[in-house]
Chains A and B, each alone.
Chain A
């Protein structure tokens, strides 16, 4: 067992209001620079929709992620020989137009336009060429199903549905949507790292954050295609690729990443997961229908004395183990089994988990009265407006059973809380639901609490970075013993 610690995340989709505050917080801190204007390390998509960059989920286009290869996995569109062969031209690379051309407006024209018969306008100008341009697309132009024939209907996950099923989804009374905020998943088996010919990308051992060394990146652009989530971006101005850094300078000083901190819906949770690094290859190569379960099994129980012992042997600090025990991510993912990885079939073992949204169910019209009552315990789940197949295509590699289980558990919490707070559900229903999902009321209450009332410190359990030790990143403290403060440029030795 090779126990390592990983800073992991949960996004609770039921709570996301699609406000894009997270994206703006990130943009202001990290990507408001020349060459990075088009990058949204955090972006929020509407599902169904094509996303950003367009159709990023379609690996027939971008050839990202891993594919199973006997007992192991190999990169789908990259790798040693293929990477070096395609270095002069990467055939699967998304280009600017697959994202959008960033622009600003000529605001000054509003003040300086000569007097005339028309209102002066601020025309859009490209942030790439500086020329005036026609704005054709933006990073979230499919927001709230806007432009649906172009966006929602082209959703890559639709391929899993029959044409008839798709048609039903687009009937006006049935249409629904949910938001999907995305950041880099800081994967356990990162395709971006494996694809980089110059070895510029790496995973930090201490907390698992995946970073690009800007000094070593040579613009070979393999990570851009290899990341199946398209979360590595190419800066066209500096000639270097960049990606989400999980605000590691904030993490190291005990603060939540900016998108987590600013999240209006409080949908985001961050905490440590302990995992067994020896199993990564084996887990990444299981058949598709087992991949979710296999990934769940790689995460270890931080209360298990054996795990604690191995963790200590591996140098994991007590404070980190304690953080793992308090981790909200561990609760959502392992204890309560409420959160699932996005597109696990890409086999990168992502560390960002989503609690799927409990969407409204389909109603019927009787005598002019709209009736949205559902039958039986799980009627609401059986008739959910987004077909289960669609959700399964997002979160469980097509296994509808897995998603349905999660939704049932969420529903049970609702039954229980409805009973507690309003009291209009009969006890039998609640007990049947609890029994069916093998949950007790204490668990349901705990889920309720962490979902709705959790404080900042409950949502973000950040392990101390141990700055007193991390100074060793920069220097051996033994060498500079006897210096003060930040040290001297030269040792304070007696002059001649």
Chain B
């Protein structure tokens, strides 16, 4: 009974609350507190240690994120790939490797923050929260991969149905409550916690990852008002509203 309530809370109520907070919070912050949305990079204060932490951390995490996304969106393709034991092994080992890379990177980043006085002064309370939750997320992920093999195969059976049920607003936790792994539960809950705290932390920066750079032109000229229209206009108020405001 207790377990059922707990599961209900952790895997239904909490995720929805997290998603709601995420949506409302990040839209609000982006619209009203635009100035605060930044990756607040600290490379300017310390560059060398950052390289060894930031690169493995970000790339590891980025690839794992897309790995999870693919597993969620195309479970059948992943299962087909895993049909061959060698290929399963390759996938699992590679993913574990990226997990380790993120883990080591994060460790070095934490070490850097603690041991570099210049970085300590720009560390906020929310940065500590960010580090703790990322640590939880990555460690639990590694443990799931190690203790509950082979995740890439059972993801389709246990997590895909659950996550889909959440996103189509028809929550069904039978699949996930059947799993007997605390590591997995921690992993899922901390994932939703990360989503929930995005608007309150520097996590905001991955929402504004500048993909549009790829298709915009290099140079940007902004005219505050359309002089051509104003100069050539014969009517009094033909001016165009500025593109900058």
User: Chain A interface (Cβ within 8 Å of chain B)?
Assistant: 75, 80, 83-84, 88-91, 93-96, 128-131, 189-190, 193-194, 196-199, 201-206, 214-221, 224, 234, 236-240, 280, 312-317, 469-470, 472-478, 481
Contacts and interface: CB of A to CB of B under 8 A. Distances in A.
A89 B244 CA distance: 31
Contacts, number: 165
Nearest to B37: A218
21 contacts: A94-B44, A95-B45, A96-B45, A128-B45, A194-B218, A198-B210, A201-B220, A202-B222, A203-B221, A204-B223, A205-B223, A205-B227, A221-B43, A312-B231, A314-B228, A317-B227, A469-B230, A470-B225, A472-B242, A478-B236, A478-B237
Main SS at interface, chain A: loop
Q: Which 6 A-B pairs have the closest CB atoms?
A: A478-B237, A315-B227, A239-B40, A205-B223, A315-B228, A197-B210
Given A88-B59, A94-B44, A205-B222, 12 more contacts: A75-B218, A88-B55, A93-B44, A129-B121, A199-B220, A218-B38, A219-B205, A469-B225, A476-B237, A476-B239, A476-B241, A478-B239
Given A89-B43, A315-B228, A477-B239, A128 B121 contact: yes
Contacts of B241: 472, 475-476
Given A204-B224, A237-B122, A469-B225, A315 B230 contact: yes
A203 B55 CA distance: 32
Interface stretch (B46-54, B96-104, B171-179): B46-54
Given A84-B210, A219-B41, A236-B42, A129 B228 contact: no
B213 A473 contact: no
Contacts of A477: 237, 239
Interface residues on B, range: 35 or more
B115 interface: no
Given A129-B118, A131-B117, A217-B38, A193 B227 contact: no
Among B57, B216, B219, residue most surrounded by chain A Cβ atoms (within 10 Å): B219
A199 B213 CA distance: 7
Contact of B237 (A216, A280, A481): A481
B38 A219 contact: yes
B214 interface: yes
Nearest to A194: B218
B85 interface: no
A96 B117 CA distance: 13
